[in-house]
Structure 1
Amino acid sequence: MTSATTTPTTTGTSTGSKVLALAMSETRLMLRNRTVAVSALFIPLVMGAFFAYSFTSNGGEDPSPFVFALVVASQLAIVVGMTVYVTTTITVVARRHTRVLKRMRTSGISDTGLLAATIAPTVVVGLLQLVLFVPFNAYMGVPVPADPLALALAALGGLALSVTAALATTVVTATPERAQITTLPLVFLILGASIALAVIPADGWWQLLALVPGAAIGELAGYGLLGGAWGAGVAGLPAVLPALVALVVWPVVFGVLAKRSFRWDPRN
């Protein structure tokens, strides 16, 4: 009786340890790869800092509140699009291309745990970058968010979008080198839509543009800095509703596509 009770706990602990060990191994591999380390760690931080400095430097004049929303939206889009989406796609494709994923399926780790361990380091790096932007933005004069919840939803929804989109993109990506091409359309869409929705007036039919993949990140960033997310919008519904719908729908769509078509064997 005692044995039957303790065995599942032991097995669960062993599996968790394997997932953690694999995640740590993936972290070391990412840091050792100079190309990935620079593109995932260095470039997004430099671009985010550059945008903050460029947008807030206005010849000594006080920037418009919309400028601050633009800064935060661009930083979120860079982390979501470049750090997490592109790097996750390259990492998963690389592990599949070298048959590491297929071999690891015999290690006792579930498919979900295997993918989670492979993706986790990139997500953690993305979160750390967002945290590092906070004191830098404060130094540059970006005010305290008027609606922290909207800003948190933008970050979490963006991470969910980037991870599921990366898994879906691996379906059409044969090699790690090809990932630099297959990820470009969505990266440009995330960057463009996020930045545009951060400054476009959030009223009338403009709110429907939040349904574009990635646009909800910019709109929620704007609400986070300026407030007004829960005020009346189209048909008297909360103004933030279209963005929240997109925030949920697109990760689900990409997740379903990935689940149906994900391949563990190398592609030619």
Structure 2
Amino acid sequence: MSLATRPRTESAPMAARTAHSVPRPERKRRHRTRIGRIVRMTRFELAMIFKQKVALMSVLLAPATAIGIASFSKPTTPGAWHSLTASMTILVLIMAVYTTTTSAVVSRRESQVFKRFRTSELLPRQMMISLAMPYVLVGLAQVAILTTAYHLMGAPMPQQPLLFGAVVLVTTVMSVVAGFATASLTTNSERVQFGVMPVMMLGLVTSIMVLNPGMSDELRTGVLLAPYAAASNLCARFLGVDGQVFAQPGFVSDLTEKVGVSANTFMTGYDIAVTALWFVIFTAIARKAWRWEPRG
């Protein structure tokens, strides 16, 4: 009797371990499978960008427009080149990333693509990552093309390239999230051009205005509250624009003397805070209003 029951007694812990634990190779395989799904979907979305005429035109026209503006304005000083690079970086990200993302999301939703994908093996989070990644890659590539072309035209290299690259990356991701938010509030493809207009116009105008040394410090501080304006300011700072170009209103000078930090450091923190605030706002709108199916 004891010999008959011993194997079952010894096998019970082993059965429990098998039931409650997953072998490490199996976990790795599942992880690779998740990554593979995202990569396949990202490739599909990237290919779709180049198949859609409107999206392709936006992607091609953005750097061409920025290079044309530089050829026309012909900057002659490092500060002028850095200011132009900062504002044109924002222009490229708005035109090639924000508007294209908005149009693509509305088009996919209208054509029931999202609804079909939800019945596939992709999880919602994987779908969102896969949808965002192509536009992040396009945005980074566009800025790389822009800065390379400007350097060949005579622009100096960024003084803090890593920080400039970090701002570009964050602003690119913010542009994708802003596209998701705008698309969530846009009912159909015919209204996309009206849906993107407020953010696009505010971003394009204020990203240039904020680097205008002729504006008063108080006015520029208010302009910085617009979307993309603070990001343009950060790009200019890390590219190497003279600190006198940036807004430093009187109340900031008084405050920094009490706190014990420089006005430049304080305003850099202000730019970062405003950019982060818009990132949070766009994310909240996208999460609240997102629809997988066409809006009624």
Which has the higher mean CA deviation after the structures are superposed, 5-14 or 15-24?
A: 5-14
1:185 equivalent in structure 2: 198
Aligned: 1:89 with 2:97:
no
**1:109 aligns to what SS in structure 2?**
coil
**Match 2:210 to one of 194, 197, 200:** 197
Asked whether 1:245 is paired with 2:273, we answer yes
Q: Single out whichever of 66-75 and 95-104 deviates more from structure 2.
A: 66-75
Question: Alpha-carbon deviation of 1:153?
Answer: 3.7
Give the 3 Å change call, closer, same or farther, for CA 241–3 of structure 1 in structure 2: closer
List alignment gaps of at least 5 residues for structure 2.
Answer: 1-17
Q: Identify which range, 47-56 or 85-94, moves more after superposition.
A: 47-56
TM-score (norm 1): 0.88
Structure 1: give runs of 5+ residues left out of the alignment: 58-62
Tell me how far 1:201 sits from its aligned partner.
6.9
Q: Which runs of 4 or more aligned residues in structure 1 lie more than 6 Å from their structure 2 counterparts after TM superposition?
A: none
C-alpha contact (below 8 Å) 1:79/1:129 kept by paired residues:
yes
Query: When the two structures are aligned, how many residues end up with a matched partner?
Result: 261
Distance 2:281 2:107 in 1: 24
Residue type at the aligned position of 2:55: V
Give the letter aligned to residue 70 of structure 2: A
Matched letter for residue 265 of structure 1: E
**Max Rg structure:** 2
Judge conservation of contact 1:146–1:224 (CA < 8 Å) in 2.
yes
Between the aligned partners of 1:232 and 1:84, the Cα distance in structure 2 is: 28
How many Å apart are 1:176 and its aligned residue? Answer: 2.4
Once structures 1 and 2 are overlaid, which stretch shifts more, 190-199 or 243-252? 190-199
Q: Is residue 97–residue 176 contact of structure 2 (8 Å, CA) maintained in 1?
A: yes
Cα distance, 1:208 vs. partner? 4.6
Is the 8 Å Cα contact of residues 55 and 67 (structure 1) preserved in structure 2?
no
Q: What residue in structure 2 maps to residue 23 of structure 1?
A: 42
Aligned with 2:28 (options 6, 9, 22): 9
Q: Give yes or no for contact 2:102–2:180 (8 Å, CA) kept in 1.
A: yes
Deviation by residue 1:128-177 (Cα, 9 ceiling, x = unmatched): 11111222111221112223344224312321321111111112212223
CA distance in 1, matches of 2:64, 2:83: 16
Structure 1 residues 138 and 195: alpha-carbon distance in aligned structure 2, compared to 1, 3 A threshold: same
1:225 pairs with one of 239, 242, 246: 239
Alignment partners' CA distance in 2, 1:21 and 1:66: 43
Q: Is the 8 Å Cα contact of residues 79 and 241 (structure 2) preserved in structure 1? A: no
Q: Write the letter of the residue equivalent to 1:6.
A: P
- C-alpha displacement at 1:228, in angstroms? 6.3
Paired position in structure 1 for 2:121: 108
Q: Given the alignment of the two structures, is residue 44 of structure 1 paired with residue 58 of structure 2, yes or no?
A: no
3-state DSSP of counterpart to 2:36: helix
Q: Using the alignment, how far apart are the partners of 1:150 and 1:19 within structure 2?
A: 28
* TM-score, with structure 2 as normaliser: 0.80
Q: Is 1:263 matched with 2:282?
A: no
Structure 1 distance, partners of 2:226, 2:127, is 30
CA–CA distance in structure 2, aligned partners of residues 243 and 178 of structure 1? 32
Question: Could you list the per-position Cα deviations for residues 17-45 of structure 1 after superposition, in whole angstroms to 9, with x for gaps in the alignment?
Answer: 111111111111211122221122x1002
Indicate conservation of the 8 Å contact 1:48/1:74, yes or no: no
Does the 8 A contact of 2:160 with 2:238 survive in 1?
A: yes
Query: Equivalent residue of 2:157, what SS?
Result: coil
